[in-house]
Amino acid sequence: MSHAQPFLADGFGVPGGLYTAKKLLLRTVNLIMETIKMEQKQNRVPEKPLGDGFFASAISFGAMGMSEFYGTPPDDESSLAVLSRALELGVTMFDTADMYGRGHNERLIAKFLARHPVERSRGRIHIATKFGIDRDPTDSYKRSINNSPAYIRSACEGSLKRLGVGQIDLYYVHRVNSEADISETMGVLADLKQQGKIAHIGLCEVSAATLEKAHTVHPVAVLQSEYSLWTRGVEASILPACRRLGIGFVAYSPLGRGFLTGKYSSTEQLGTGDFRLSNPRFQGENLRRNVALLATLQAVAQKYDCTQAQVALAWVLSRYERLVAIPGTRSISRIEENCSAAQIALEQDDILLLEQTFIAAAIYGERYPLEGMKGANA
């Protein structure tokens, strides 16, 4: 007497044994896929709170070098590939300014936004831009600082148009004119926020006194200043003021304009048009003495089986719970390297070793030529 094979009520008529095997295989595949998704999520750059309800990825992206200042810029397609990879890795804030490339950088970001409308609509992409540096039309580095109300409103409209957005997520005063009234400047920005043209207000390279005065007019979400092992001046009064007021901090040039990567031991490694050729820290004897500091950074990197750049980024991220860094790069491999730094936790002994090595007295040369210091620490 023959017996029919048992069939499961799945509508496909698959014999029970075969069905069980297929079901087990499907469960295994699903488990693998979920594990991959979980690992990808865990490896994504985490977000950190800044100020005034604004959040950004611990490693965010400084786009300036995609337009100028570091030799011949890449073509837009290459830059867009790097920006898209950054987004995939969890980078949420992309930093630009109206002066970068005389508008090119903002137009590049507009192309990037056009390629990722879903992520933008879901709040996964935040755009930060700046105003206040009025460049000389005949000299690429000469500039003046303009914070007049009319200039601010005009600059905002220009950035909105170039970016192709209805609202700027974070709008910075790029440099403060020491002769201007910061209260008046903040009042204009508060008005732009009320109009819905900007969402959050930031300041760049200001003194603690200016920061506190501005914050009394309207909450400052973020202060952006140069900060790295190579440039630690903000530790004296700026970071304490940010902590006290609950203001976020964005560290630009967290790799010391590439110096902390260990790639640059001579200006011969810099291309034509690279502004570091005129940077005092990269000059002659200054550079030779500064390079000697990198031995400690290299030793710490070897301990953690990572790169010098990753150690430098991990260090700066550890300095304040409301701090994010905006290293720039033109390379997909470098953005992957930078983002991985967010997963590195340095031991306190190594943090102290680095800080004892990179003290102000051991660093040779100013961080900018004289022209670049216009509006800084105002």
DSSP secondary structure code for residue 15 in this structure:
B
141 is catalytic: no
C-alpha distances out from residue 186 to 8, 99, 189, 213, 237, Å: 71, 20, 5, 10, 21
Catalytic member of 100, 171, 172, 227: 100
Tokens of 284: 């002659």
* Cα 248-98-47 angle, rounded to 5 deg: 30
Angle, helix 149-163 to helix 104-115, in steps of 10 degrees: 40
- Which bin fits 87, alpha (ψ -120 to 50), beta or left (φ > 0)? alpha
Asked if residues 315 and 325 have their Cβ atoms less than 8 Å apart, the reply is no
The Cα 93–Cα 62 span in angstroms is 9
Q: Are strands 248-252 and 323-325 parallel, antiparallel or unpaired?
A: parallel
The Cα 61–Cα 37 span in angstroms is 24
| Residue 191, number of CB atoms within 10 A of its CB | 15
- Collect all residues with Cβ–Cβ distance below 8 Å to 219 and sequence separation of at least 6: 51, 52, 201
Paired with 131 in beta bridges are 173
Which are the catalytic amino acids? 100
